[in-house]
Amino acid sequence: MTLVAAGGSGVRLAAMEKKALDATVLPYDHAAMGSKAGLRILADMPTLVPSFPDKVIIMRRSFVQKERDTVKRFLQGLSEAIYEISVSPEKGMSVLSKRLNVKDPKVIEENYNTYGRLFAFPSRVGRKGMDGVLEQIQQQSGGAKSDFEFARFVDETIIDELEREGFFQRINQK
């Protein structure tokens, strides 16, 4: 097998359709388009590894330290949105239609059915999946196992704080 850098997902999808690539990894929206064009989906990461960390938010530690209140408000807003979309398919599909500027109800429903189930509430990184990824990186790099501990890469202290404050319970009670 030869791995090649082939551009963004839209470019890779076009290359697949023109048979310039034999396989690629695509986000869900492009995978759905590829499937409609006759391409075959071989694997779905959330099905293979349910807690695979492919939907994470990355911030510099210095930003989290300096702008902790901003980060906390961001996580609160994100959590409220995840909750609303998960309990109200109509609202979720309406947001998708508006943000994606897509009017076809079938496309919107497919996207909702794909993305609506993928986000955890509260928004935590899947520990098992992240541990698996860190273990693979550690093995490939030959680094010390202690250099690849979960806590070194994932900071959920603000999520913990929101949980202690009852934030997630209040959303659930609405």
pLDDT at 173: 87
Closest CA to 38 of 56, 19, 62: 19
CB 101 within 8 A of CB 29: no
Question: What percentage of the chain has pLDDT greater than the value 90?
Answer: 38
pLDDT class of 85 with cuts at 50, 70, 90: confident
Name the band, by pLDDT with cuts 50, 70 and 90, for residue 121.
Answer: confident
Average pLDDT over residues 14-28: 90
Q: Cα separations (Å) of 116 from 1, 33, 101, 147, 173?
A: 34, 18, 18, 34, 20
Q: How much is the pTM? A: 0.71
pLDDT in tens, 109-120: 887 887 777 778
| Mean of pLDDT values over 64-68 | 96
Contacts of 55 (CB under 8 A, 6+ apart): 118, 119
Token pair listed for 73: 């408000």
Residue of higher predicted confidence among 126 and 60 = 60
The structure tokens listed for 88 are 């109200």
DSSP category for residue 48 = H
Of 104 and 54, the one with more pLDDT: 104
What is the predicted pLDDT for the residue at 51?
A: 73
CA distances from 131 to 38, 55, 144 (A): 35, 15, 14
Report pLDDT for 44: 78
d(CA 36, CA 44) in angstroms, rounded, equals: 16
Q: Can you give the C-alpha Rg of the chain in angstroms?
A: 19
